[in-house]
Structure 1
Amino acid sequence: MASRAAEQREEARQSAARLEAEGVRNVALTWVDNAGVARVKTVPAQRLPEAAARGVGMSPVFDVFTSDDAITESDHLGGPDGDLRLFPALDRLTALAGQPGWAWAPADRYDQLGAPHPACQRQFARRMTERAAEAGLELRMGFETEWIVTRAPEGHHPAAADAYETLDYPCAGPAYGMTRVVELSDYLRDVTEALTVQGIEVLQLHPEYAPGQFEVTTAPGDPVRAADDVVLVRETVRAISARHGLRASFAPSFVAGQVGNGCHLHLGLYRDGTSLHRTPEAAWGLAPDAVSFLGGVLNALPALLAIGCPSPASYLRLQPSRWAGVYQCWGVENREAALRLITGAPDDPDGGHAEVKTFDAAANPYLAVGAVIAAGLHGIECATQLPEPQTGDPGVLGVRERARRGIVRLPATLTEATDRLEKSAPLYEAMGGVLHGAVLAVRRAEEAHFAGSEAEDIAAATRWRW
């Protein structure tokens, strides 16, 4: 332990010297709580070696924070007692292009004796990635990030909450319209440039369906890196928006009744460097392990919704015929299916992957990637098979026709999804009792807080939490 601390200190000393030479004076160390909120402790850049060697103190109570900063409790966590240490992931240390003088690193959490904190979501994602590797599988994951921007009225600071009682969208162009790009070309250029400077490869950026809405897709990587990336993407978009006098929201339901923000998870499976989505002789091009992995994810989707759609606001977004994937089915290039198989171009040897369409940005991305991997590995263990793929929109079918095809509605409320997570033995085993219990406690508290609330009130209360 002492030698590891010495190595970390020396690596951090060199990193701190480099950062200070670049004008960086402060480092933000982030973790994401079970309500999906990115929390932070900051240290001066010259203190980074100490933080890397000994960690930065924080309370374990944050594992039972809700999205409105209320505090609940689980069987294992809650109350004022205890302490943890945040250790920065130095390999992800990044100077922030949107916040001059600042750098960022995600943090892993340990107890005072150096043991991994059992509720650390980032380490959960790493454990599941390692479990997949032990089975000979490599996963490449990436997220699509959607957000909505509004402009503060004249005389208001962009971060002032009361400035957004009347929403002023900075672009009036049509959905997916080039008009929006023209209207906000400087802003979108700065978002792309900032992400690129920070080492995030942007695949595409475009206007989306809702007013003031955009989406950025970034290159896939290993699951932990993908989760790190989506945190960095959100905070970069937030920072660049503020510099342009705008405010960004990643909330699943920005305005009740309108299309909300998703955060779709893309995943590709490989064995020995070969895609398992490109097996010519197999049905749908999927190798047997890919069939079973995706079958496991499909079967677990009702429970996974409590991970990937963790707020009552999430269920305002999950409506039929809005490409949100509200029915438990899969399809080939079907954007209404909860699990979409993307075949890719025929001449692309690395093409082909799957997309979980239901998830949104209220989700903790580390929980999301870890839980999906756990569900997929359970599918392989059980040799799970996929049913026939669905075509078209299940939402336009009658109830009897959906029943005939075996298409069922995914949970329509957080309560129902949480009940399914509570009963999921594979996810309990993968997460462990401490993390699983903390997630359930936060979900139940969110349910209770919004019980009986109107959709408009839920959307308004959560609009700026993510």
Structure 2
Amino acid sequence: MSSEKDIDFVLRTVEERDIRFVRLWFTDVLGNLKSFAISPEELEEAFEEGIGFDGSSIDGFVSLEESDMLAFPDPDTFTLLPWRPTESGVARVFCDVYTPSREPFDGDPRNCLLKVFTKADKMGYIPNVGPKIEYFYSDSQHELRPKDDAGYFDLTPMDNANDLRRQTTLMLEKMSIPVQYSYHAAGPSQNGVELRFTEAVSCADNIVTARLVIKQLAAQQGMYASFMPKPVAGQPGSAMFLYQSLFSHEGENLFWAPKDYHVAHLSDLAQHYVAGILKYAPEFTLVTNPTVNSYKRFISTGEVPNYATWGRKNRSALVRIPAHKPGKHVSTRIELRSPDPTANPYLALAATIAAGLKGIEEKLPLPEESARDTFLLSQKELEAKGIRRLPRTLGEAIQNFEESELMREVLGDHIFDYLVQEKKHEWNDYCTAVTDWERKRYYGGF
């Protein structure tokens, strides 16, 4: 719970900075950002008693008969919105959603991650995550029209998004979200930003904020930023890489171990954690890759994971172990490469961290390291090695998710059942849609 000191600091800041509007932020189950504004006079009451709103209007929340919900602001997330006019200051604060009986709401994605974080905390671990988010710029909201032909890490006159990336970085840092680096990604008009690692709940808050800031600044320049995983066939897709590690309460990185008797500097704890992610990846893929389009990104190019494998230099592995500088034990981490930026970050982190913790509880052994040519093996050879393929379609992902006891336990019945129902509708709509590709291929034949 937040302390009175935190709340007093926020109330004092609102008065001193003449803040006229405070936006209360939260997401629906699918990860869409929701917001409503209150006056500064209402803020103290919001901290103490919550602010009521109609939960039946939010996708995945509650029915009309039980619509009353309460939003309780988290004072640790209070910050000014720097793109708003300074003469009538606007701030935002993330909220936790409660029922009228003051119980945490089971359909609140942030609460779902908080429960996983609390479990890890009781086990003696602080989950830390650093995200790297990729996206495309276009001058159209309806189709990708590339604005440059630059490639990975290019710095050329063709990269006309360079100034926009710099402005985005400065805006995020004004909101106390440190940026490790921003860059032009591999595809035309594709860009990326890597945020500094922080504890898991703050990381999810930062991802939600970064997605809005990226879109907001693009719109101010007459551009559109899209997080669609695979907007153009034949071009690279957009990922949301998640760099994960566990720290002790004393600030020690528990993933690091001396190389002379551990694999890739990974401690036994880290190896169990990775093994848990590999075991449960087919079950949580619906959460980390939640759209039909997500699976168009999973193609065998050697850069996108198709199998639940791990490796050090192998970027086709689901989990990669990045190298770190000698003596920089704090940077020992794993890179989860499958998620994409359409995922609800609260649920994606809850599901993947829970899978890692389950691997620790079950003391799962780390499988053999995967070579780069794994995807060239036959299905029978993969099965002989105990390697599981990730879902190839949203339909497969739904089936694996629906059969998962762990995902139901982690997400709770409310979110779990809603995701199954909603994604089955999406998959059915896709399967019954007739595309231009089909018309061009079959209309005049036979």
TM (normalized to structure 1)?
0.85
Q: Is 2:125 aligned against 1:140? A: no
Map 1:254-269 onto structure 2 (within 5 A): 254-269=231-246
Q: Which whole-Å CA distance do the structure 2 matches of 1:5 and 1:193 have between them?
A: 30
Is the CA contact (8 Å cut-off) linking 1:37 and 1:362 kept in structure 2? no
Please state how far the C-alpha of 1:103 moved relative to its aligned partner.
Answer: 2.1
Is the CA contact (8 Å cut-off) linking 2:150 and 2:187 kept in structure 1? no
Please state how far the C-alpha of 1:247 moved relative to its aligned partner.
Answer: 1.0
Deviation track 1:59-92 (CA, whole Å, cap 9, x = no partner) reads 3345645xxxxxxxxxx94445421111222211
1:38 corresponds to: 33
Q: Which of 256, 267, 280 is the aligned partner of 1:278?
A: 256
Q: Which of 119, 127, 134 is the aligned partner of 2:115?
A: 127
Deviation larger for 35-44 or 400-409: 400-409
- Residue 43 of structure 2 aligns with an amino acid whose one-letter code is L
Please state how far the C-alpha of 1:339 moved relative to its aligned partner.
Answer: 1.3
Please state how far the C-alpha of 1:325 moved relative to its aligned partner.
Answer: 1.2
Q: Which of 355, 365, 368 is the aligned partner of 1:388?
A: 368
3-state SS of 1:179 partner: coil
Q: Which of 92, 95, 107 is the aligned partner of 2:95?
A: 107
Q: Is 2:193 aligned against 1:205? A: no
Structure 1's unaligned 5+ residue stretches are 66-75, 153-160, 458-466
Q: Is 2:424 aligned against 1:436? A: no
3-state SS of 1:266 partner: strand
Q: Which of 414, 417, 427 is the aligned partner of 2:397?
A: 417
Deviation track 1:222-250 (CA, whole Å, cap 9, x = no partner) reads 00000001111111111111121111111
Q: Which whole-Å CA distance do the structure 2 matches of 1:129 and 1:110 have between them?
A: 18
Q: Which whole-Å CA distance do the structure 2 matches of 1:327 and 1:16 have between them?
A: 50
Q: Which of 311, 317, 338 is the aligned partner of 2:291?
A: 311
Q: Which whole-Å CA distance do the structure 2 matches of 1:436 and 1:11 have between them?
A: 37
2:162 corresponds to: 185
- Residue 227 of structure 1 aligns with an amino acid whose one-letter code is A
Q: Which whole-Å CA distance do the structure 1 matches of 2:433 and 2:328 have between them?
A: 49
Is the CA contact (8 Å cut-off) linking 1:99 and 1:239 kept in structure 2? no
Map 1:261-410 onto structure 2 (within 5 A): 261-271=238-248, 272-280=250-258, 281-321=261-301, 323-410=303-390
Q: Which whole-Å CA distance do the structure 1 matches of 2:146 and 2:100 have between them?
A: 47
Q: Which of 78, 84, 89 is the aligned partner of 2:74?
A: 89
Q: Which of 11, 14, 17 is the aligned partner of 1:13?
A: 11
Structure 2's unaligned 5+ residue stretches are 438-446
3-state SS of 1:245 partner: coil
3-state SS of 2:207 partner: helix
Q: Which of 169, 173, 176 is the aligned partner of 2:146?
A: 169
Q: Which whole-Å CA distance do the structure 2 matches of 1:434 and 1:140 have between them?
A: 26
Is the CA contact (8 Å cut-off) linking 1:144 and 1:217 kept in structure 2? yes
Q: Which whole-Å CA distance do the structure 2 matches of 1:47 and 1:58 have between them?
A: 14
| Alpha-carbon distance change, 322 to 43 in structure 1, aligned in 2, over 3 angstroms | farther
Is the CA contact (8 Å cut-off) linking 1:60 and 1:83 kept in structure 2? yes
1:453 corresponds to: 433
| Alpha-carbon distance change, 8 to 279 in structure 1, aligned in 2, over 3 angstroms | closer
Report the identity percentage.
Answer: 27
Deviation track 1:352-382 (CA, whole Å, cap 9, x = no partner) reads 2111111111111111111112111211111
| Alpha-carbon distance change, 207 to 296 in structure 1, aligned in 2, over 3 angstroms | same
| Alpha-carbon distance change, 339 to 63 in structure 1, aligned in 2, over 3 angstroms | farther
| Alpha-carbon distance change, 282 to 322 in structure 1, aligned in 2, over 3 angstroms | closer
Q: Which whole-Å CA distance do the structure 2 matches of 1:303 and 1:379 have between them?
A: 14
Q: Which of 43, 60, 63 is the aligned partner of 2:55?
A: 60
Is the CA contact (8 Å cut-off) linking 1:330 and 1:390 kept in structure 2? yes
TM (normalized to structure 2)?
0.89
Is the CA contact (8 Å cut-off) linking 1:96 and 1:102 kept in structure 2? yes
Q: Which whole-Å CA distance do the structure 1 matches of 2:244 and 2:158 have between them?
A: 29
Deviation track 1:361-407 (CA, whole Å, cap 9, x = no partner) reads 11111111111121112111111111101021423334444344333
Is the CA contact (8 Å cut-off) linking 1:124 and 1:366 kept in structure 2? yes
- Paired residue total: 431
